[in-house]
């Protein structure tokens, strides 16, 4: 097995070797639990009630005996929250993208995908065996050029984009994507993993942010694992879409369903977002505050009004060194490197979270000041 040793050595030489850091005892500044709901007492309480009643696992896939009133209730809640007729649950966002994209698109079809889409979309495109064209990040003129050239040669067509890009925090132009989908008779697939619960006035996601309504050709995927503080994922759209997924999506059919307690916790989280509609706005204000402070320290932190605040470091080794400096102070801000982001675009993954206390943020800013790119005054 020398080849494994050699492969790992190669990764180490390029500063691309990975280890899993145990989180206990550290202040976590890079999670996706943006609203702090994973620890909310009402979310935990709702989940425990169902856990006691139903036990730990769901016991089977949705189509065998793993579908309960808690799965259904969450699907109905999500459909109402997203403003669509129907919703289907998946075991994770990765599984949702794999199962849905490969159910919608087959080998004679066409997918157009943003170059910075999440890895699970890239893998889903590969699995579909269709023609896949990648357009430059958020470059919709390039997308239209590709559509003009290729659309006529294919049967079905899917435009696919993250709504909020997970490692850059910038936002797709949902309005333009909708127009292009209509003009070129394509389906539009939006991965709302980082938009659900936080984007738009009341956290409903990309369509709300752009003041747009849902239409039948739009498929909204999202995760329960980020702002909803739980685990799992969903795909929303027309009733026909849901029927197709239940019958065709292999990652739904051949995988154990979510535990009922997880569904109950996620449903409670959505109800909290509805009950406290100021949460998304508070998160935006906190994100802007952190960004201003980091910029004042001389860091390059592209800001797009989302809680994803990448501190650009570029060099992989340097990103690791800053991460380790923060770790020694008990602060967890993970270094993100290739292949999660392109080579030479390493960054620290800092995210805003409503549960941060002022003194915790001060600790973080103090520790970052010690490695600030600005010379000391
Ligand atoms: C944009 C995007 N899509 C899909 C996923 C996958 O979701 P999950 O972690 O539930 O598998 C993630 C994150 O993990 C993501 O950032």
Tens-digit pLDDT string for the chain (377 aa): 999 999 999 999 999 999 999 999 999 999 999 999 999 999 999 999 999 999 999 999 999 999 999 999 999 999 999 999 999 999 999 999 999 999 999 999 999 999 999 999 999 999 999 999 999 999 999 999 999 999 999 999 999 999 999 999 999 999 999 999 999 999 999 999 999 999 999 999 999 999 999 999 999 999 999 999 999 999 999 999 999 999 999 999 999 999 999 999 999 999 999 999 999 999 999 999 999 999 999 999 999 999 999 999 999 999 999 999 999 999 999 999 999 999 999 999 999 999 999 999 999 999 999 998 876 55
Query: Is the CATH code 3.90.1150.10 the one for domain 278-369?
Result: yes
**Ligand 1 centre from 237 Cα, in Å?**
19
- Check pocket membership of 167 for ligand 1, CB cut-off 6 A: no
Predicted TM-score (pTM) of the model is 0.96
Residue nearest to atom 16 of ligand 1 (CA): 166
Residue nearest to atom 4 of ligand 1 (CA): 93
- Check pocket membership of 193 for ligand 1, CB cut-off 6 A: yes
What is the atom index within ligand 1 of the atom nearest the CA of 94? 11
- Check pocket membership of 92 for ligand 1, CB cut-off 6 A: yes
Pick the CATH number of 41-275 from 3.40.50.300, 3.40.640.10, 3.40.50.1000, 3.30.70.2740: 3.40.640.10
Q: Which residues belong to CATH 3.90.1150.10 in the chain?
A: 278-369
- Check pocket membership of 191 for ligand 1, CB cut-off 6 A: yes
- Check pocket membership of 367 for ligand 1, CB cut-off 6 A: no
Q: Which residues belong to CATH 3.40.640.10 in the chain?
A: 41-275
List the structure tokens of 176: 């333009």
**Ligand 1 centre from 100 Cα, in Å?**
14
What is the atom index within ligand 1 of the atom nearest the CA of 224? 10
Rounded to 5 degrees, φ, ψ at 146 are -65, -40
What pLDDT is recorded for position 377?
56
Rounded to 5 degrees, φ, ψ at 335 are -85, 130
- Check pocket membership of 47 for ligand 1, CB cut-off 6 A: no
Burial class (CB in 10 A: 0-12, 13-18, 19+), 358: exposed
């Amino acid at each position: 097995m020398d080849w494994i040793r050699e492969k790992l050595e190669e990764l180490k030489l390029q500063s691309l070797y990975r280890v899993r850091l145990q989180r206990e005892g550290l202040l976590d500044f890079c999670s996706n639990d943006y609203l702090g709901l994973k620890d909310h007492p009402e979310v935990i309480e709702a989940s425990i009630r169902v856990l006691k009643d139903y036990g730990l696992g769901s016991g089977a896939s949705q189509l065998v005996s793993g579908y309960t009133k808690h799965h259904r209730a969450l699907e109905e809640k999500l459909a109402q929250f997203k403003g669509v007729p129907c919703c289907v649950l998946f075991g994770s966002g990765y599984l949702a993208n794999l199962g849905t994209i490969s159910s919608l698109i087959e080998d004679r079809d066409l997918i157009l995908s943003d170059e910075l889409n999440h890895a699970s979309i890239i893998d889903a495109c590969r699995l579909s065996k269709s023609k896949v064209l990648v357009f430059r990040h958020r470059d919709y003129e390039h997308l239209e050029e590709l559509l003009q050239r290729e659309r006529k040669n294919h049967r079905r067509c899917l435009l696919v984009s993250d709504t909020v890009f997970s490692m850059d925090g910038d936002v797709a132009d949902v309005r333009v994507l909708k127009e292009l989908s209509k003009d070129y008779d394509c389906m539009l697939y939006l991965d709302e993993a980082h938009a659900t619960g936080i984007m738009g006035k009341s956290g409903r996601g990309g369509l709300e942010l752009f003041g747009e309504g849902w239409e039948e050709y739009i498929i909204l995927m999202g995760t329960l694992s980020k702002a909803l503080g739980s685990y799992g994922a969903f795909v929303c759209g027309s009733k026909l879409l849901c029927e197709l997924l239940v019958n065709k999506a292999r990652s739904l059919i051949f995988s154990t369903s979510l535990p009922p307690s997880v569904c109950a916790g996620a449903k409670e989280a959505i109800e909290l977002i509805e009950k406290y509609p100021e949460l998304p706005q508070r998160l935006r204000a906190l994100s802007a505050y952190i960004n201003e402070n980091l910029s004042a320290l001389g860091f390059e932190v592209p800001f797009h009004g989302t809680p994803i605040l990448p501190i650009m470091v570029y060099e992989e080794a340097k990103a690791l060194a800053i991460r380790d400096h923060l770790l020694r102070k008990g602060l967890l801000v993970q270094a993100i490197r290739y292949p999660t982001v392109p080579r030479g675009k390493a960054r620290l993954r800092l995210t805003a979270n409503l549960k941060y206390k002022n003194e915790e943020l001060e600790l973080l800013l103090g520790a970052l000041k010690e490695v600030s790119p600005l010379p000391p005054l």
